Amino acid sequence: MEIDLLGIDLAKRVFQLHGADRRGHVLHRAKVSRAALVDTVRQLRPRVIAMEACSSAHHWARRFQELGAEVRLISPQYVTPFVKTNKNDRNDAEAIVEAACRPAMRFVTVKSVEQQDMQAAHRVRELLVQQRTALINQCRGLLGERGITIAQSPAAFKRAVPEILKECEGEITSFCQALMMELLEQVHAIEERIATSEAWIKAFLKRSALCKKIAAIDGIGPITATAIVAAVGDAKAFKNGRHLAAWLGLVPRQYSSGGKSRLQGISKRGDKYLRTLLIHGARSVLRYVANKTDARSRWLQELIARRGYNRAAVALANKNARVIQVLLSSEVAYHPRGISV
């Protein structure tokens, strides 16, 4: 029995296996416990192993690559159309094999341990920023009930609260003052943890040659550079820069039929976090192009006058994504006036 393609439906404790030959004929079906998964795969010796790109998929992919097997990770949204009748582990494993056999199927690149470390640092920072925002909004809401309004930014909040708490009269009672002081201390503690996570991210930037290469682009800082390298890697899985921009959702969404092309707003597909970082980085560049005379700044000035500030920001984010794909997939270095060897 020679299994050419083995589909594995990942789970926490029990894994469903579906093995097939080159013609798609079923050769093996079994349920395997977590402890016995690696030994079972070693005994079956499949040429290709296919899995959904879900939780723990990259860990198992690295384990199976050590056994000499080719690993193909598929986005779950591409596996769903191949599920027959009811959804269960057995049918999911079969659908994974069916999807992996498609010649035009797109696969997810296996992440390294370092990439997952960088991604973990970003996830922790994002969580801390959300917690800080929640605390500030809670304080603004409590003070708003007492007729005091504060601007939304964290900087404005930190400037306004100490001045407000100095006056312990009228609506601001001693209890309210103590409560606000406690919440303000929590905000400061979270900001210290955010600074620590950003220090981790900058350390990753210093150790990674790919991060340093794309950080040279205007509008790409340490956070954006490390986030892209953590999610994309060497970008050789993308045919060209346009494919990376489309994967990030920075291209127009189409609704075309009958030979008529209808283009709408950006598709917003892919990773929202990466798309947000690229667009915010582009906005930071647009703030300083008014008095510049280089070719890129003149292009942005004309684009802002013709299409508006927001569309220009998205266009610059799209352009940066295309440049990033070239830099990550080749040995060229970035120069402000273009890309050269």
Q: Distance between CA atoms of 158 and 256, rounded to whole angstroms?
A: 50
H or E stretch at 31? strand 26-33
| Same domain as 95, residue 123 | no
Which residue segment(s) compose the domain that 257 sits in? 216-340
Output 164-173 pairs: Cβ under 8 A, ≥24 positions apart. 171/146, 171/147, 172/146, 172/148
- % of the chain at pLDDT higher than 70: 97
Burial environment of residue 312 by CB neighbours within 10 A (0 to 12, 13 to 18, 19 or more):
buried
Q: How many domains does the chain have?
A: 3
| Same domain as 140, residue 56 | no
pLDDT in tens, 160-198: 888 887 776 677 888 888 898 899 999 999 999 999 999
By three-state DSSP, how is residue 36 classified? coil
pLDDT in tens, 185-240: 999 999 999 999 999 999 999 999 999 999 999 999 999 999 999 999 889 889 99
Instruction: Render 207-260 in DSSP notation, one character per residue.
Output: H-HHHHHHHTSTT--HHHHHHHHHHHTT-TTSSSHHHHHHHTT-SEEE--BTTB
| Same domain as 300, residue 234 | yes
Single out the residue in 190, 207, 224 at which a domain terminates: 207
Q: Distance between CA atoms of 296 and 26, rounded to whole angstroms?
A: 57
| Same domain as 143, residue 83 | no
| Same domain as 335, residue 223 | yes
Confirm if 64 and 44 have CB atoms less than 8 A apart. Answer: no
| Same domain as 224, residue 333 | yes
| Same domain as 100, residue 40 | yes
pLDDT of residue 341: 37
- Single-letter residue type at 286: L
Please list the ranges in the chain whose pLDDT falls under 50: 338-341
CA 147 to chain CA mean position, Å: 40
Single out the residue in 69, 90, 108 at which a domain terminates: 108
| Same domain as 238, residue 200 | no
Q: Distance between CA atoms of 327 and 245, rounded to whole angstroms?
A: 14
| Same domain as 243, residue 190 | no
| Same domain as 311, residue 237 | yes
pLDDT of residue 162: 84
pLDDT of residue 340: 39
| Same domain as 331, residue 222 | yes
Single out the residue in 176, 207, 238 at which a domain terminates: 207
